[in-house]
Amino acid sequence: MATKRKPIFVLILPRFEDIFHSFYTGEITKGVNLAASRLNVDFLVHITDRLDHSTWLDPTLLDRKSVDGILFADIDNDVEIVKKAIMRGMPCLVLNNKFEEPINCIGINNYEAAFKVTEEFVKLGHKKIATIAGDLSTQAGQARLEGYYDALKKHDIEADKAYVKIGGFLRTPARQATMDLLKLKDRPTAIFAASDVMALEIIDVAKSKKIDIPDDLAICGFDDNPLRSHSPIPLATVAQPLVEMGRLGLEMLYQISHGRAKLPVKESLSAKLIKAQSMGK
């Protein structure tokens, strides 16, 4: 008599620069691993090409005989790839996203967090507030930029296009974006970076130009990345429950695969602003 196999779930990770050193990837995987251990299931990590989405779902991943469900770490706004898996009868759940459509998802309220950061700068007396946005092919990147815009609008501060740069969550583009911002004749007095990795680049460039932080330039990042400990000045940031999102994601997918969940599953987790010296008083 054949023994029943352990349930197997697949975690799909879109590949990007420094993926194996990525705080986001590490925290999500940690959370999935915690849930897999508790549930006594296995999970496979499928690293995919970010540009060629046709490689995300090969036939073996869509075989219900060998795979019990797919957990997308993110989808770079490609809803069709999720629908393709759903049409094949594969239980799916998408992390770091939210949908109006009946698609299972667990996300972090990036919009609300970015709104709070920008509003905190306003409360501190800033009106020249710039942002270095993340990857706008992701919902997280878009939501953080929207939160920034709407907070300015709430306080009747006109958004200056020159104050909005794209860093893609990456070091090199963020460094160039910072140099461009600090060259402006009417340069910003505060910068909201959509990731701590980018915020650290801002600090480095500012210090090289003898710009005092936070008196001449206030800075806030996003992620609560352990790299903050290497900052020459305590970095304000936003802590998001990534491990919790990964853990909850696999647990809910397990319930979905066993027909025990009320569908569609939709969860929104809150992030928390952590004030520090870089933001000023």
Q: Let me know: does 245 contact 28? Beta carbons within 8 Å.
A: yes
The neighbour count for residue 153, using CB atoms within 10 Å, is: 12
Tokens 């299972």 belong to residue: 104
pLDDT, mean over the chain: 94
Q: Which residues contact 30 (CB under 8 A, 6 or more apart)?
A: 243, 246
Is the predicted pLDDT of residue 88 greater than 70, yes or no? Answer: yes
Domains annotated for the chain, with CATH where assigned, are 8-107+242-269 (3.40.50.2300), 110-239+275-279 (3.40.50.2300)
Which of 77, 79, 139, 78 minimizes the C-alpha distance to 114?
139
Is the predicted pLDDT of residue 50 greater than 70, yes or no? Answer: yes
% of the chain beyond a pLDDT of 70: 97
Amino acid, res. 78? D
How much is the pLDDT for 48? 85
pLDDT digits (tens, 9 = 90+) for 14-36: 876 666 678 889 999 999 999 99
Distance CA 67, CA 47 (A): 16
- Three-class secondary structure of residue 227 per DSSP: helix
> For 71, how many CA atoms within 13 A lie in the half-sphere containing its CB?
33
- State the average pLDDT over residues 2-18: 81
pLDDT digits (tens, 9 = 90+) for 250-281: 999 999 999 999 999 999 999 999 999 999 98
Distance CA 47, CA 55 (A): 10
Q: Let me know: does 31 contact 245? Beta carbons within 8 Å.
A: yes
pLDDT digits (tens, 9 = 90+) for 211-249: 999 999 999 999 999 999 999 999 999 999 999 999 999
How much is the pLDDT for 1? 45
How much is the pLDDT for 3? 58
pTM score, whole prediction: 0.90
